[in-house]
Amino acid sequence: MQRISLAHGEGGELTHQLIQEVFIQSFGHSEQTQFDSAILPIPSQTIAITTDSYVVKPIFFPGGNIGKLAITGTVNDLAVSGAIPHVITAGFMIEEGFPIKNLKEIVHSMAGEAEKSGVNIVAGDTKVVEKGSVDGLFINTTGIGVIQEEHRLKPEMVQEGDSVIVSGTIGDHGIAILSARQELGLLTDVKSDCASLNHLIHELLAEIKGIRIMRDPTRGGLATTLVELCEDFHFTVEIDEASVPVRKDVQGACDILGYDPLYLANEGKVVMIVDSNDKQKALDILKNHELGRNASVIGQITSSHAQSGKLLLKTAVGTTRRLNRLSGQILPRIC
């Protein structure tokens, strides 16, 4: 059997085989899974919980695949909330006819990424759907993390002068995905930045008391993420265009497509607001870490009161542009 058939989803022998050969082989069989639910102790008063569905196209892309992304995405959502990722569950929706070889590769990289980030995959589910019902494979993951009281984020402490730091080049994932879509031809060979940030973030949280808030700028990119922060917590951020790290080839691809890297997805970056007294220390820790080599202070909080709430970009030509959320509409305004 080389491809998934509807029978793989019927709950019978074939299902059992699939689970044994594909999932157990990679994920192992932990003792928590002996019941219909995973039963596990949580070493904390406070937990963080997050869920996400992964429908990325193409399923395999330079720097990763949908499986790796499903783990890093959930791990990062927990980590930027100040939690230590603990366990993950995974649900698979597989299109009839999907190659088993590909499924194995995906599951394998999930296991590898889970191990790297130190989380256990404790429960799972598999459904097979008719051809055309999903595009290849969708994965849903839920993650639970534990919060250590001393690492709790304090967005209410944000004040004028705080620094905004991003952990590396932006837009890599967005452009990698676009390039991987064969239709565009080879745009660049840039790789997705898809990576689990929890160890790096843990180190930052352990060392630096002045971290106010963190986010992972995924869908909608750095700009949309910052706009949401500004609006939710009523502060105004001014970022300096020249100090936002962007790879040359990512910028080049953006120039051709007419995209702005500030709005492209990232899957291995964290943006944080820190007390400006801690900015150098945070930068040092980041730059010492493989995943934070290109970290940069990109701006600061310029005001923080009820009327604040804008994201401003100081452009290379010296003007200040207000940035809004990623807009679904692509409409030139130049008349």
Q: Report what 39 binds from Fe ion, another protein, Mg ion, none; CB cut-off 5-8 Å by kind.
A: none
Cβ at position 226, least distance to another protein in Å: 15
Tell me which stretch binds another protein (CB under 8 A): 67-75, 99-107, 148-156, 314-322: 314-322
Q: Which residues contact 56 (CB under 8 A, 6 or more apart)?
A: 66, 69, 177
d(CA 135, CA 66): 12
Query: Of another protein, Mg ion, Fe ion, none, which one sits near residue 41, judging by CB under 5 to 8 A according to partner kind?
Result: none
- Which residue from 31, 184, 248, 284 is in contact with another protein, where contact means CB under 8 A? 184
Give the one entry of another protein, Fe ion, Mg ion, none that residue 77 binds, where binding means its C-beta sits below a cut-off of 5 to 8 angstroms depending on kind. Answer: Mg ion
The partner in contact with residue 184, picked from Mg ion, another protein, Fe ion, none with C-beta cut-offs of 5 to 8 angstroms by kind, is: another protein
Q: Is 242 in the site for another protein (CB under 8 A)?
A: no
* Minimum gap (Å) between residue 334 Cβ and another protein: 4
Handedness of CA 231, 232, 236, 242 (dihedral sign): negative
Say if residue 58 is preceded by a cis peptide, omega within 30 of 0.
Answer: yes
Least distance in angstroms from the C-beta of 218 to Mg ion: 6
Q: Which of residues 296-335 bind Fe ion (CB under 5 A)?
A: 335
Closest distance between another protein and the C-beta of residue 109, in Å? 28
Candidates 48-56, 183-191, 205-213, 281-289: pick the segment binding another protein (CB under 8 A): 183-191
Q: Is 77 in the site for Mg ion (CB under 5 A)?
A: yes
Q: Which does 52 bind (CB under 5 to 8 A by kind): another protein, Mg ion, Fe ion, none?
A: Mg ion
Residue 312 as a binder of another protein (CB under 8 A): the answer is: yes
Binding flag, residue 332, another protein (CB under 8 A) = yes
Of 52 and 241, which CB lies nearer to Mg ion in the complex structure? 52
> Binding residue for Mg ion (CB under 5 A) from 19, 21, 52, 97?
52
Instruction: Give yes or no for residue 127 binding another protein (CB under 8 A).
Output: no
Please pick, from the candidates 75, 187, 211, 264, the single residue that binds another protein as defined by CB under 8 A: 187
Task: Write the secondary structure of the chain as one string of H (helix), E (strand) and C (coil).
Answer: CCECCHHHHCCCHHHHHHHHHHHHHHHCCCHHHHCCCCCCCCCCCEEEEEEEEECCCCCEECCEEHHHHHHHHHHHHHHCCCEEEEEEEEEEEEECCCEHHHHHHHHHHHHHHHHHHCCEEEEEEEEEECECCECCEEEEEEEEEEECHHHCCCHHHCCCCCEEEECCCCCHHHHHHHHHCHHHCCCCCCCCCCCCCHHHHHHHHHHCCCEEEEECCCCCHHHHHHHHHHHHHCCEEEEEHHHCCCCHHHHHHHHHHCCCHHHCCCCCCCEEEECHHHHHHHHHHHHHCHHHCCCEEEEEEEECCCCCCCEEEECCCCCEEEECCCCCCCCCCCC
CB 47 within 8 A of CB 37: no
Which CB atom, from 72 or from 236, has the smaller least distance to another protein? Answer: 236
Q: Closest separation between CB of residue 325 and another protein, Å?
A: 11
CA 102 – CA 28 distance, rounded (Å): 19
Q: Which is nearer to Mg ion, 9 or 217 (CB)?
A: 217
Q: Is 327 in the site for another protein (CB under 8 A)?
A: yes
Task: Give me the residues that bind Fe ion (CB under 5 A), please.
Answer: 335
Task: Give me the residues that bind Mg ion (CB under 5 A), please.
Answer: 52, 77
Task: Give me the residues that bind another protein (CB under 8 A), please.
Answer: 183-185, 187, 255-259, 312, 315, 317-322, 324, 327, 329-335
